[in-house]
């Protein structure tokens, strides 16, 4: 089974490791614009062979795991050169633009838009992890537009690497993911920024930071190269979530200025309900 | 060694466990306004004996681990009835008000203001953890106002349970802790609120939440009873951090609206510097 992975970072690299593990006959071909990443991926055993787009004619599966702006172009290039039975997957964090980009391509039925919701704050081949996807959710968009045989092939892979599948239209995906993923990244980046700005001349102060701070700013370590195009593609939804978040913070500040701590207590108590929601995430995971 | 712990929650309970572990001869007496917590603490082996303030005459050490508004009054009550050689510690997350409250007490030299920076998002005796304090920082305020012999006793305990000590004046403590702890809690609570409000009618959406979301909203599980008085006591500093945080979010939103993704990339890249800071926290921990 010839699998081509384009983009050998955390997401593509981790998929490569799990596919190798589940499919004995898989031969993983790696493509990346960064030569160092290809060398690293070979050394780390993430891929078996170095490849280029020209080799894709013999691919059974092509996985596009590059930043979401690059993937728009790459998806078309790949669809242009594949054979009839090749499955092409993208795994980006936005789904509307990619689905639009390939909507009218003659090989549309070879393409499946997916978003495996898994990751860490790290990037590059060294960040690739075995079993990253086990117990995690994979959102599949516009499944009905993919050839039935190729849907089946994709499902087999995702189920074998331990993912549960949810189906959703690209518009809904992008709207909701803005709340449960994209906003978290901005809140974390801006929290990191606020504290660094304030404390830059007093390094010792970070001695005072505990595990709570570490947890809330963890995502501020994420890759700007990956996240900038995500925010760009999901601009309208992300701005909406940001406005609501800023309003809530502003309201909290107003309550403090009015010494209305009774209401602040209630706000926190109501939000404690997040416990059940997070338990849901962890239990199902 | 008779140790009295007032407040048998996460912080007081965890201290009880570590002190028992490090001092064979320690007898831990527990005081709490919540009778259930006393029973739980006895059952869990967190305390040896149930006690009341009337028993405090024979205490060698009294640790006040109640919400920071309650501790102002409790500290005075305790200082009123202790003997000459009793060490009284408070372990709250704000230090200015408590230091002011006991500043002119005749037994001021029996008191030491401390902030062991450790915890989880859980509360009550069941949340108590062994070794919670190992490798963590303890901020001690106004050390010079405590009797030398009692400073020594406190240091012995904190070093044995594995804490490193930093000395700071209460004003600076409250200012800096607002950035590295209190702001994180508000950012997390408001993030939780924003997402819950938006998604309350679509429970399935939380299937889409991954580990990043879980990490940024973890602190939104924290106890309102503990945190409301902290925000109240540290109101001025917390409002300042909130304003800066809101401004940074607003500026990020403006950049998005202006399609200035080059600058957004730079913002994130600059904040990636948080990696080194967090590595510092983790390495030293």
Of A206, A231, A265, the CB nearest to B264: A231
To the nearest whole Å, the CA of A163 is away from the closest chain B CA by 12
Residues B223-267 have pLDDT tens digits of 999 999 999 999 999 999 999 999 999 999 999 999 999 999 999
To the nearest whole Å, the CA of A177 is away from the closest chain B CA by 7
Which residues in chain B have Cβ-Cβ distances shorter than 8 Å to A179?
Answer: 194-195, 198-199, 205
Spatial distance between the Cα atoms of A121 and A223, rounded to a whole number of angstroms: 7
The total of other beta-carbon atoms located within 10 Å of residue B75's CB is 25
Check B278 against A231: CB less than 8 A apart: no
Check B180 against A209: CB less than 8 A apart: yes
Mean pLDDT of B135-152: 97
Edge-to-edge strands, sheet with B111-116: B49-50, B27-31, B2-6, B61-64, B87-90, B111-116, B137-141, B164-168
Domains, chain A, with CATH or none = 2-169 (3.40.50.720), 173-284 (1.10.3660.10)
Do B65 and B31 touch, CB atoms closer than 8 A?
A: no
Tell me, what's the ipTM?
Answer: 0.91
pLDDT mean by block of 10 residues, chain A; 285 residues: 97 98 97 96 97 95 97 98 96 98 98 95 93 95 98 97 96 94 96 86 72 91 95 97 97 98 96 79 48
Spatial distance between the Cα atoms of B31 and A152, rounded to a whole number of angstroms: 63
Pairing of strands B49-50, A49-50: unpaired
Of A119, A139, A192, the CB nearest to B271: A192
Mean pLDDT of B172-186: 95
Residue B28 has pLDDT above 80, yes or no: yes
Closest to B177 (Cα-Cα) out of B122, B216, B137, B213 = B137
Phi, psi of A161 (to 5 degrees): -85, 5
Spatial distance between the Cα atoms of A202 and B202, rounded to a whole number of angstroms: 45
Spatial distance between the Cα atoms of B9 and B91, rounded to a whole number of angstroms: 12
B5 forms beta bridges with: B30, B63
Task: Pinpoint the alpha helices (H) of B23-67.
Answer: 35-43
User: CA triplet B125, B127, B129: central angle to 5 degrees?
Assistant: 100
Mean pLDDT of B147-155: 97
For residue B38, what are the contacts with CB-CB under 8 A and spacing of at least 6?
B8, B30, B31, B32, B47, B50
Of B187, B189, B199, the CB nearest to A179: B199
Terminal alpha carbon distance of chain B: 29
CA distances from B283 to A181, B135, B136, B179 (A): 28, 10, 11, 21
- 3-state secondary structure (DSSP) of residue B31: strand
Which residues in chain B have Cβ-Cβ distances shorter than 8 Å to A218?
Answer: 212, 215-216, 278
Do B208 and B214 touch, CB atoms closer than 8 A?
A: no
User: CA triplet A10, A15, A20: central angle to 5 degrees?
Assistant: 130
Mean pLDDT of B182-186: 96
To the nearest whole Å, the CA of A14 is away from the closest chain B CA by 16
Spatial distance between the Cα atoms of A155 and B40, rounded to a whole number of angstroms: 49
Residue B171: which pLDDT band, with cuts at 50, 70 and 90?
very high
Q: Is B134 on the interface with A (CB under 8 A)?
A: no
Q: What is the pLDDT of residue B128?
A: 95
Q: What is the pLDDT of residue B284?
A: 43
Do B195 and A163 touch, CB atoms closer than 8 A?
A: no
Pairing of strands A164-168, A137-141: parallel
Of A119, A208, A231, the CB nearest to B256: A231
Higher-confidence position of B197 and B110? B110
Residues B263-285 have pLDDT tens digits of 999 999 999 988 877 766 554 43
Interface test with A, best of B10, B172, B207, B273 (most A CBs within 10 A): B207
Q: Is B175 on the interface with A (CB under 8 A)?
A: no
To the nearest whole Å, the CA of A158 is away from the closest chain B CA by 16
Q: What is the pLDDT of residue B281?
A: 58
Q: What is the pLDDT of residue B283?
A: 47
Phi, psi of A74 (to 5 degrees): -60, -40
């Amino acid at each position: 089974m010839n699998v081509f992975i384009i983009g050998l970072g955390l997401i593509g690299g981790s998929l490569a490791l799990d596919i190798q593990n589940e499919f004995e006959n898989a031969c993983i071909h790696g493509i990346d614009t960064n030569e160092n990443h290809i060398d690293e991926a070979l050394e780390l055993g993430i891929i078996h062979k170095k490849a280029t787009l020209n080799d894709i004619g013999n691919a059974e599966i092509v996985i596009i795991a590059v930043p979401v702006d690059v993937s728009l172009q790459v998806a078309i290039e790949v669809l242009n050169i594949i054979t009839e039975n090749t499955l092409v997957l993208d795994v980006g964090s936005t789904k509307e633009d990619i689905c639009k980009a390939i909507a009218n391509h003659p090989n549309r039925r070879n393409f499946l838009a997916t978003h495996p919701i898994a990751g860490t704050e790290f990037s590059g081949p060294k960040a690739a992890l075995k079993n990253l996807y086990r117990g995690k959710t994979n959102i599949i968009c516009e499944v009905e537009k993919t050839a039935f045989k190729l849907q089946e092939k994709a499902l087999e892979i995702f189920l074998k690497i331990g993912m549960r599948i949810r189906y959703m239209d690209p518009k809904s995906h992008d709207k909701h993911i803005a709340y449960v993923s994209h906003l978290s990244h901005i809140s974390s980046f801006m929290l990191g920024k606020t504290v660094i700005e304030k404390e830059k001349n007093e390094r010792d102060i970070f001695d005072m930071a505990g595990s709570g701070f570490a947890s809330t700013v963890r995502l501020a370590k994420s890759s700007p190269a990956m996240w900038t195009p995500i925010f760009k593609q999901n601009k309208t939804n992300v701005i909406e979530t940001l406005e609501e978040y800023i309003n809530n913070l502003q309201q909290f500040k107003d309550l403090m200025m009015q010494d209305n701590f009774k209401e602040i207590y209630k706000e926190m108590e109501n939000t404690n309900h997040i416990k059940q929601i997070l338990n849901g995430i962890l239990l199902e995971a």
